[in-house]
């Protein structure tokens, strides 16, 4: 005789327990725990097994939109049968981007757009604002997930856009409408539909106040790719970032600007970064590779005599210990008293950088602020600094040098033994104690 067992599950958060409880220990809601009779072990149909030689690989043809910033971040286009999520703060431009993508894809593929969040009138007014002529694109504002699945299985579109997944509901779900449990169930059903029918799904998802996708990252584990659309306040810039991608690299960035008639691509983001560059003490320019492209980023240091006993170290956008370590190396070899100085350090824009090749830039930003002297104009700084004060070469120098030339950088400040082929002037140093010569005149 097979052993039968029963489990209880919370229909709000899907927490599972072997005994009934009045209050869910996970989400703290009352009367949400219900009995789910589990199938007796032994009743299930055994899984079919096969060796890999019997599996034929279909060449994956990626679906390109022609919107290069999007195509690059997706890893070279959306893969048929993949399930991607586009998330970000409300009002950041998710619906706008989805509509641009849908229109572009509809030139080649059959695309359905389900706007579970907005009425068709609202979608039409956005489409008019974006000057989108979407005759080939079909829309529905039905938020029922079963209807959506039935339509897609019958009509077999190549791409389905859902705006948003949180607004879809499942009629006969044991989980409460709008709960994390139902969101998980919706994602699971969509994933199955995508894989079984080779339909690519791109769904938008809200973000909570804490900055995570609603449903404690639940969806991120289920889906193939997660893209974040974030705001960069200064130039109405929107940064598209891949944080998970089963079909491409993560950390890839795309840049758009939000304009009157929708999102416009910004292929030359470094031009904008450079426009803002100041030629002041404490400011230096470094280059940092994010995904596949180098970004020119300004480091800003402010070093000043401390007023209180304990000097302050306030660092943002870069690892705190990296700055403290470089300050300690300079203190040791240049006999500079950073111990009696406050250090404030930040990165331009909302970028976060993590790279040892920024070491030399950090050192020069600190020294430039300490001596109140700017570095030579249009200099790009690249080098690692070891604990013994030696300046070391960095990897991928060719990529950085090419970007520097493209944007009119005149001078590269590098390690003595850095090999580089460039038309820029180079200033090379082998140890941090030589760096003071830059500020001595």
Of the pair 39, 129, the CB lying nearest ligand TYD is at 129
Taking the least distance from each CB to ligand TYD, the nearer of 87 and 270 is 87
As measured in angstroms, the least distance from the Cβ of 241 to ligand TYD is: 15
- Site map (CB under 5 A) of Mg ion, residues 48-87, x = contact: ----------------------------------------
For residue 23, give the DSSP letter: B
Which of helix, strand or coil describes residue 413? strand
- Tell the smallest beta-carbon distance from residue 265 to ligand TYD (Å): 14
Here the tokens at position 62 are 């990626």
Which residue stretch of 31-39, 94-102, 258-266, 426-434 sits at the interface with Mg ion (rule: CB under 5 A)? 94-102
Q: Which is nearer to ligand TYD, 230 or 418 (CB)?
A: 230
| Smallest distance from ligand TYD to CB 262, Å | 4
Q: Which does 93 bind (CB under 5 to 8 A by kind): ligand TYD, Mg ion, none?
A: ligand TYD
Q: Closest approach of Cβ 26 to ligand TYD, in Å?
A: 29
Question: Distances from the Cα of 203 to the Cαs of 116, 138, 153, 169, 368, in angstroms?
Answer: 10, 16, 17, 14, 48
Question: Which partner, ligand TYD, Mg ion, none, binds residue 309 by CB below 5 to 8 Å per kind?
Answer: none
Minimum Å gap between C-beta 98 and ligand TYD is 8
Q: Give the CA distances from residue 223 to residues 70, 239, 423, in Å, rounded to whole numbers and listed in that order.
A: 18, 21, 46
Q: Interface residues with ligand TYD (CB under 6 A)?
A: 88, 90-96, 126, 129-130, 258, 260-262
Least distance between Mg ion and beta carbon 98 (Å): 8
For residue 241, give the 3-state DSSP assignment. strand
* Residue 261 binds which entry of Mg ion, ligand TYD, none, CB below 5-8 Å type-dependent: ligand TYD
User: CB 205 → Mg ion: shortest distance, Å?
Assistant: 10
Stretch that binds Mg ion, among 64-72, 81-89, 90-98, 350-358 (CB under 5 A): 90-98
Residue 297 carries which DSSP code? Answer: E
Considering CB distances under 5 to 8 angstroms, the limit depending on partner class, which of Mg ion, ligand TYD, none binds residue 349? none
- The residue (of 65 and 355) whose beta carbon lies closer to ligand TYD is 65
In angstroms, give the least distance from the CB of 233 to ligand TYD.
Answer: 14
| CA pair distance 156, 425, nearest whole angstrom | 58
User: Cβ distance 263 to 96 under 8 Å?
Assistant: yes
β-pair type (83-88, 225-232): parallel
Distance CA 161, CA 194 (A): 12
Given the complex with Mg ion, which of 95 and 166 has the nearer CB atom? 95
Residues 168-207: x/- map of binding to Mg ion (CB under 5 A)?
A: ----------------------------------------
For the bound state, the minimum distance from the C-beta of residue 194 to ligand TYD, rounded and expressed in Å, comes to: 22
Sign of torsion, CA 333 335 336 341?
positive
150 CB contacts (<8 Å, ≥6 apart)?
Answer: none
Binding of Mg ion by 95 (CB under 5 A): yes
CA distance 292 to 309: 45
- Cα–Cα dist 280/371, whole Å: 11
Judged by CB under 5 A, the stretch of 71-79, 91-99, 239-247, 346-354 that binds Mg ion is 91-99
Place of tokens 């230096």: 284
The C-alpha atoms of residue 276 and residue 270 are separated, in whole angstroms, by 10
**Among Mg ion, ligand TYD, none, residue 411 binds (CB under 5-8 Å by kind):** none
- Smallest gap from Cβ 96 to Mg ion, in A, equals 8
Q: Which residues contact 44 (CB under 8 A, 6 or more apart)?
A: none
- Our CB check for ligand TYD shows the closer of 260 and 421 to be 260
The set of residues, in sequence order, having a beta carbon less than 8 Å from that of 111 and lying 6+ positions away, is: 102, 105, 136, 137, 138, 157, 158, 159, 160, 161
CA gap 24, 141 in Å, rounded: 34
Which of the 8 DSSP states describes residue 64?
-
Longest dimension (CA), the chain: 92
User: Which residue's CB atom is positioned nearest to Mg ion?
Assistant: 95
Cβ closest to Mg ion, residue 42 vs residue 90? 90
**Residues engaged in binding Mg ion (CB under 5 A):** 95
């Amino acid at each position: 005789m097979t052993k039968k067992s029963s489990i209880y599950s919370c229909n709000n958060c899907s927490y599972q327990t072997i005994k009934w409880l009045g209050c869910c220990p996970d989400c703290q809601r009352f009367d949400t725990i219900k009995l789910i009779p589990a199938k007796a072990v032994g009743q299930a149909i055994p899984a079919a097994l096969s060796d890999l030689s019997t599996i034929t690989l279909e060449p994956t043809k990626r679906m390109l939109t022609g919107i290069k910033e999007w195509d690059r971040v997706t890893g070279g286009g959306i893969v048929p049968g993949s399930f991607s999520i586009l998330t970000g703060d409300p009002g950041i431009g998710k619906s706008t981007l989805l509509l641009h993508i849908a229109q572009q894809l509809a030139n080649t593929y059959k695309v359905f757009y389900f706007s579970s969040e907005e009425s068709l009138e609202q979608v039409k007014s956005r489409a008019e604002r974006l000057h989108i002529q979407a005759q080939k694109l079909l829309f529905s504002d039905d938020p029922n997930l079963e209807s959506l699945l039935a339509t897609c299985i019958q009509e077999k579109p190549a791409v389905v856009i859902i705006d948003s997944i949180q607004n879809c509901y499942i009629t006969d779900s044991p989980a409460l409408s709008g709960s994390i449990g139902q969101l998980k169930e919706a994602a699971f059903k969509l994933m199955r539909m995508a894989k079984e029918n080779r339909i690519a799904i791109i769904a938008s998802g809200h973000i909570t106040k804490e900055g995570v996708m609603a449903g404690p990252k639940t969806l991120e584990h289920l889906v193939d790719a997660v893209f974040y659309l974030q705001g960069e306040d200064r130039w109405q810039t929107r940064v598209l970032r891949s944080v998970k991608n089963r079909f491409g690299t993560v950390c890839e960035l795309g840049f758009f600007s939000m304009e009157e008639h929708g999102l416009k691509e910004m292929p030359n983001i470094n031009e904008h970064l450079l426009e803002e560059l100041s030629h002041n003490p404490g400011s230096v320019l470094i280059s940092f590779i994010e995904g596949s492209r180098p970004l020119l980023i300004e480091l800003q240091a402010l070093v000043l005599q401390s007023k209180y006993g304990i000097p302050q170290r306030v660092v943002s956008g870069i690892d705190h210990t990296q700055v403290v370590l470089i300050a300690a190396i300079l203190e040791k070899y240049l006999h500079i008293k950073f111990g009696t100085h406050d250090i404030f350090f930040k990165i331009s824009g909302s970028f976060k950088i993590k790279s040892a090749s920024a070491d030399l830039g950090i050192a020069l930003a600190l020294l430039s602020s300490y001596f109140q002297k700017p570095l030579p104009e249009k200099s790009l700084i690249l080098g690692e600094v070891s604990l013994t004060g030696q300046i070391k070469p960095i990897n991928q120098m060719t990529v950085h040098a090419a970007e520097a030339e493209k944007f009119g950088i005149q001078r590269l400040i590098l390690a003595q033994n850095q090999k580089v082929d460039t038309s820029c002037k180079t200033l090379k140093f082998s140890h941090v104690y030589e760096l003071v010569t830059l500020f001595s005149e």
